Amino acid sequence: MVFFSRSPQPTPPSFDDAVAPSDVLISLHQLEKSYAHGTSRSWVLRRITVDIKDGEFVSIMGPSGAGKSTLLHILGMHDSAWSGEYYFGSQPVHRLSPKDRAALHKKHIGFVFQSYHLLDHLTVYEHLDVPLSYRDIRKSERDSMVCDILDRFAIVGKKDLYPNQLSGGQQQLVAVARAVIANPKVILADEPTGNLHSSQGREIMELFKKLNDGGTTIIQVTHSEANAEYGSRIIALKDGWVVGAAQSQ
Ligand SMILES: Nc1ncnc2c1ncn2[C@@H]1O[C@H](COP(=O)(O)OP(=O)(O)OP(=O)(O)O)[C@@H](O)[C@H]1O
Ligand SMILES: [Mg+2]
């Protein structure tokens, strides 16, 4: 698998005026999430107050059940059942309509789900075309971007297959490729290398590092210290609380 053998992808639409570039890209204030069980309530995220700067590479770490995926889904604007404030650039996500949140997500965020979330009825090729279809990109250019990423991820031979015809690792590669193909402003990745061979995992981390060097903000959930080393900061969660936020080298 050779991710970097080709020239960079065509320049995608830029970060527009709807979300003005600023030092802080993501700002969470007293964000909380809980589930009701009969008369009782269990808390999954507690008073999360965190700023993430434009261009940062942050790792969210913590034990199983700590709330990492829950937090990432809120950042990805998939989940609206929470309280507190979430600003994405100048946009108050906590006040946006579902339609506006979805538009913001589609325009600026690439998301790698912990369980991939590939669609049964779409081929690999079609999965990779979906994020491009949200942008104002000509079909011929889209085709060339899909071919380029299939090549970079060494999955050209799989392009017409459906998810149930792929191995777990291949599904994960498709999920990562889908998140990065449209060159989003932010990549949110939930254990993006969990099902990959260690060398493939390193290549994904190198790809993220390269994208981050080019200005993409990256927030990954990981259990791997080695993966966290690629970032510059760790946000540690435990039982829904932020228990530490360390800078790494
Ligand atoms: N629908 C639900 N109802 C009640 N509790 C839920 C629900 N969904 C998730 N939870 C709880 O939220 C907590 C956080 O889950 P989350 O998936 O965010 O953990 P995680 O840190 O990503 O763990 P892992 O490392 O295993 O992926 C867990 O204790 C889980 O049981
Ligand atoms: Mg999780």
Q: How far is the CA of 220 from the centre of ligand 2 (A)?
A: 11
H helices of 98-186, in order, are 98-108, 124-133, 139-152, 168-180
Q: How far is the CA of 218 from the centre of ligand 1 (A)?
A: 22
Q: What is the pTM of this model?
A: 0.90
The response to whether residue 66 sits with its C-beta less than 6 Å from ligand 1 reads yes
pLDDT confidence bin for 73, thresholds 50/70/90: very high
Task: Give me the phi and psi of 119, to 5 degrees please.
Answer: -95, 130
20 within a domain of the structure (yes/no) = no
Separation of alpha carbons 85 and 27, rounded Å:
8
Separation of alpha carbons 104 and 46, rounded Å:
25
The CATH number assigned to the domain holding 194 equals 3.40.50.300
232 within a domain of the structure (yes/no) = yes
- pLDDT tens string 99-149: 999 999 999 999 999 889 999 999 999 999 999 998 889 999 999 999 999
120 within a domain of the structure (yes/no) = yes
Question: CB under 8 Å to 211, separation ≥6 — which residues?
Answer: 180, 183, 187, 218
91 within a domain of the structure (yes/no) = yes
Residue nearest to atom 4 of ligand 1 (CA): 35
Q: Tell me how many domains the chain contains.
A: 1
156 within a domain of the structure (yes/no) = yes
1 within a domain of the structure (yes/no) = no
From the CA of 191, give the closest atom in ligand 1. Answer: 27
Domain that holds residue 106: 56-247
Opening angle at CA 192, ends 187 and 197, nearest 5: 145
Using alpha carbons, select from 114, 64, 95, 143 the residue that is nearest to residue 220.
Answer: 114
- pLDDT tens string 38-61: 999 999 999 999 999 999 999 999
202 within a domain of the structure (yes/no) = yes
Q: How far is CA 26 from the centre of its chain?
A: 13
